[in-house]
Structure 1
Amino acid sequence: MRRSLDFLYDSAAALAAFFLFALLVMVLLSILGRQLNFNVPGIDAYAGYMMAASGFLALAHTLKRGEHIRVTLVLSSLGAGVRRWLERWAMGAGALLAVLFAFYCVRLVWQSWAFHDISTSNDATPLWIPQLSMALGALVFAVAAVDEFFIEWNGRPQRADGEALRHE
């Protein structure tokens, strides 16, 4: 199961890297267009779609690598028992919020598809298409957040200095 989850997180990260590269291509194409006097309609909108896709698809991988911002000032001043319960509460609340976020992202995609929403820019892209990457990233992030919650609840492995391991 762990290998499958890690493969899911790594696949989402690879897809995020692909969209980041696609964003670079869009920006370079836009620059070239200005320099060589040609226009690619909707390129700014597509660059925005690529940026959103790369950001959302990288969320789970970033969480699993322990790279999300954490404020440890309060945690470091607490005893081990209180710290453990506070970590569990925080991971539980984070997992709940991630699941709710994923639910509403998927619902947004479905509504955009059902109502035939299109982009207001000149590309007139059906909005459910770029929103799919957001929903997929939010779903994978929700899986990772629930995974982290269960790892925390079952007793995250500790390092020799007493700090919890963040890199699985």
Structure 2
Amino acid sequence: MRTALDLLYKLCGYLAAICLAGIGALIMAQIIGRFFGLLVPSANEIAGFLMAASSFLALAYSFRAGTHIRVNLFLLRLSPASRRYVDILCLVAGTVLMGYFAWYTWVLVQDSIRYKEVSDGLVPVPLAIPQAAMFAGILVLAIAFVDELVSVLRGNKPSYDDEADLVLPSEGH
């Protein structure tokens, strides 16, 4: 199970990177197209969709890697037992919030499909496509929260935990 979940997080990270590469390719196509008087229809709009997809798909990978912004000022001053309790509390809150966001993002995707909503640009992109990428990223982040919560409840150290604080090092370091 651990291997499958780690593969899922990495896959989402790779998809996020591909979306960023897609943005770069669109920008290059626009630049080159200007030299030849060619228009890349809806390039800005599609780049925006790719940026949103990249942001959401990278969430779980970033969470597991410990690269999300956390405020350690308070956490580094707690005893290990208190810190574990706060970690569990935060993971439960994160799981509930991401579950809620995933549910309502799924409802948004369903509504976009039901009402056949499309973007306003030259290329009518079905809005369910970028919304589905957003849903996938939030759902995988919810899975990552559950995964991390179960791991911490089993007594493991959180994967995102890095006690090194470059600004205010703790007394033990």
TM-score between the two structures when normalised by the length of structure 2 = 0.87
Report the alpha carbon displacement of residue 35 of structure 1 after superposing the two structures with TM.
3.3
C-alpha contact (below 8 Å) 1:98/1:141 kept by paired residues: yes
Secondary structure of 1:4 counterpart = helix
Q: Name 1:74's counterpart in structure 2.
A: 74
Report the alpha carbon displacement of residue 165 of structure 1 after superposing the two structures with TM.
5.2
The one-letter amino acid of 2:41's match is P
Report the alpha carbon displacement of residue 34 of structure 1 after superposing the two structures with TM.
2.7
- CA distance in 2: counterparts of 1:27 and 1:107, whole angstroms: 32
Report the alpha carbon displacement of residue 65 of structure 1 after superposing the two structures with TM.
0.7
Report the alpha carbon displacement of residue 19 of structure 1 after superposing the two structures with TM.
1.2
Superposed CA RMSD = 1.5
| Residues 1:59 and 2:59 are matched in the alignment | yes
- CA distance in 2: counterparts of 1:86 and 1:18, whole angstroms: 35
4+ long deviations beyond 6 Å: none
Distance 1:63 1:39, change over 3 A: same
- CA distance in 2: counterparts of 1:126 and 1:165, whole angstroms: 37
TM-score between the two structures when normalised by the length of structure 1 = 0.89
Secondary structure of 1:48 counterpart = helix
Identity among equivalent positions (%) equals 38
- CA distance in 2: counterparts of 1:11 and 1:77, whole angstroms: 35
List alignment gaps of at least 5 residues for structure 2: 162-173
Q: Name 1:22's counterpart in structure 2.
A: 22
C-alpha contact (below 8 Å) 1:52/1:134 kept by paired residues: yes
Q: Name 2:10's counterpart in structure 1.
A: 10
The one-letter amino acid of 2:66's match is G
List alignment gaps of at least 5 residues for structure 1: 158-163
Q: Name 1:126's counterpart in structure 2.
A: 126
Report the alpha carbon displacement of residue 33 of structure 1 after superposing the two structures with TM.
2.4
Q: Output aligned runs, 1:131-150, within 5 Å.
A: 131-150=131-150
C-alpha contact (below 8 Å) 1:45/1:123 kept by paired residues: no
| Residues 1:104 and 2:104 are matched in the alignment | yes
The one-letter amino acid of 1:166's match is Y
Secondary structure of 2:160 counterpart = coil
Q: Give the paired residue count.
A: 161
- CA distance in 2: counterparts of 1:83 and 1:125, whole angstroms: 46
Report the alpha carbon displacement of residue 41 of structure 1 after superposing the two structures with TM.
1.3
Aligned residue among 153, 160, 163 for 1:166: 160
- CA distance in 1: counterparts of 2:30 and 2:159, whole angstroms: 44
- CA distance in 1: counterparts of 2:34 and 2:155, whole angstroms: 56
Report the alpha carbon displacement of residue 95 of structure 1 after superposing the two structures with TM.
1.2
